[in-house]
Amino acid sequence: MARTVVIKAFGGPEAMELEDRPVGEPGPGQVRIRHHSVGLNFIDVYQRSGVYPLQLPCALGMEAAGVIEAVGEGVTHLKAGDRAAYASQPPGAYTEARVMPAAQVCPLPDAISFEEGAAMMLKGLTVQYLFHRTVPLKAGDTVLFHAAAGGVGLIACQWARSEGIRLIATAGSDEKCQLALDHGASEAINYRDGAFAPKVRDLTGGRGVDVVMDSVGAATFEGSLDCLRPVGMMISFGNASGVAPPVDLLKLGAKGALQITRPSVFVHIAKHEDCQAMAQHLFGKVISGAVKIRIDQRFPLDRVADAHRALESRATTGATILVP
C-alpha cells in the first residue's frame, strides 16, 4: 500500500484527498518506483481544477524521483536498485510508490540528488524543448520569458546564459526580477509597474524579440504578440493566469507575419529515445554547473493542499517539492 493523493471531483485544493492505494507488481514495459521526492507543477493545478480534464477518480502528479524496486518484462534501461527520475504520463506521482510505464523513467546520475531530480524533470525538459526543439535558437538571439522567477523560469535564465542567448525576464515583483537577473537573465521587467511590451521594445531598439516563451496565458498573451519582431515566434506553453484567448490569424499577419505554437512536453518526450536523449542533455547542464536547481519550498505529502495554494497565489519562487 502507498499513501496517494487523489481527486474524486474537480475543484480547489480542498478537492485533493490522501488515501492508501495498493501498488502491485509491474507488468511488461513497466517499473515499480518508490519515491524519495515529488515535484509540483502548474499542470497539476490545471488537472485538479478541470482545466485539463481527467477521468475521475484520479491520482495527481507528473514528476518524481526515487529508487526502482522492480521492473517488468522488456525493460532494459533500468533495473531494481537504480536511482531514477521522470516527468511522465499518466498522472500519479503524488504517492509513496507506484507502478508506471518505464519508457519515460530515466536513470538518475549519482551527482544529482533525489530532490533535484524531482524538481527538475518536467521543468528542465520543458526548457530543453523550448530552446532546442520548438524553434532554432542560437547565440545572440533574444527571448522574452514570462514568470522568469518560477521553477521553469530560473532554469531557462541559466540555460539561456549558458548558450549566449539574451533573455529578457518578466516577473511580478522587484525581488523576483532580481532573482531572475541573479540566475542569468540579461534584463528584467516588473510587469506590475505597467505594460511590459513598450519596455521590451525599448530594450530591443524597437526591433522586438525573436521568441516569446509564455506560460502565463490570458494576462500576457496580447502584450506578448506586441513584443515580437516580424516573423517572430510566440510559444504559449501554459495558462497560469487563465487560458489565452482565441487567435485572429489576420492579426498575426498585420503584426508582421507572426508565428505561434502551443507545444507540450509530453509530445516531445513521447518516444523513449527522444525522452532519454533530452534527459541526458538536461543532466549534462546540471552536472556541469551551468544550471543549478533552486528548491525554495518543501511540503510533506499530507500538506499538498497548502502547496497548491502557495503555487496558485504566486507566493513561490524556484521549484516546490513534496516529501512522501
Kindly report, residue by residue over 46-78, the tens digit of the pLDDT.
999 999 999 999 999 999 999 999 999 999 999
Checking if the pLDDT of 99 tops 80, the result is yes
What confidence score (pLDDT) does residue 318 get?
A: 87
Checking if the pLDDT of 196 tops 90, the result is yes
Average pLDDT of the chain? Answer: 95
Give rounded-to-5 percent helix, strand, coil for the chain.
35, 30, 40
What confidence score (pLDDT) does residue 324 get?
A: 94
What confidence score (pLDDT) does residue 136 get?
A: 86
pLDDT class of 239 with cuts at 50, 70, 90: confident
| pLDDT (mean) for 191-213 | 95
> Domains in the chain, ordered, with CATH?
2-121+274-323 (3.90.180.10), 139-262 (3.40.50.720)
- DSSP-H helix ranges across the chain: 42-49, 114-129, 151-162, 174-182, 197-203, 221-225, 249-254, 265-268, 272-288, 304-312
CA distance 148 to 129: 17
Residue 235: exposed, middle, or buried by beta-carbon count in 10 A (0-12, 13-18, 19+)?
buried
What confidence score (pLDDT) does residue 164 get?
A: 98
What confidence score (pLDDT) does residue 272 get?
A: 97
Rounded alpha-carbon distances, angstroms, from residue 297 to 57, 130, 247, 276, 310: 28, 25, 36, 28, 9
For the chain, what is the radius of gyration of the CA atoms? 20
Element (H, E) at 261: strand 259-261
CA distance 275 to 97: 22
Is residue 150 within 8 Å of residue 318, measured between CB atoms? yes
Chain mean position to CA 70: 28
What confidence score (pLDDT) does residue 139 get?
A: 97
Checking if the pLDDT of 315 tops 90, the result is no
What confidence score (pLDDT) does residue 220 get?
A: 87
pLDDT class of 45 with cuts at 50, 70, 90: very high
pLDDT class of 179 with cuts at 50, 70, 90: very high
Q: Does the CA dihedral 138-140-144-150 come out positive or negative?
A: positive
What percent of the chain is modeled with pLDDT above 90?
89
Instruction: Please give the residue that has the higher pLDDT: either 315 or 301.
Output: 301
Q: Report how far apart the first and last C-alpha atoms of the chain are (Å, whole number).
A: 13
pLDDT class of 211 with cuts at 50, 70, 90: very high
What confidence score (pLDDT) does residue 125 get?
A: 97
What confidence score (pLDDT) does residue 242 get?
A: 78
What confidence score (pLDDT) does residue 194 get?
A: 87
What percent of the chain is modeled with pLDDT above 70?
100
CB atoms under 10 Å from CB of 46, counted, come to 17
Kindly report, residue by residue over 105-162, the tens digit of the pLDDT.
999 999 999 999 999 999 999 999 999 999 989 999 999 999 999 999 999 999 999 9
pLDDT class of 238 with cuts at 50, 70, 90: confident
| pLDDT (mean) for 298-313 | 96
| pLDDT (mean) for 266-286 | 97
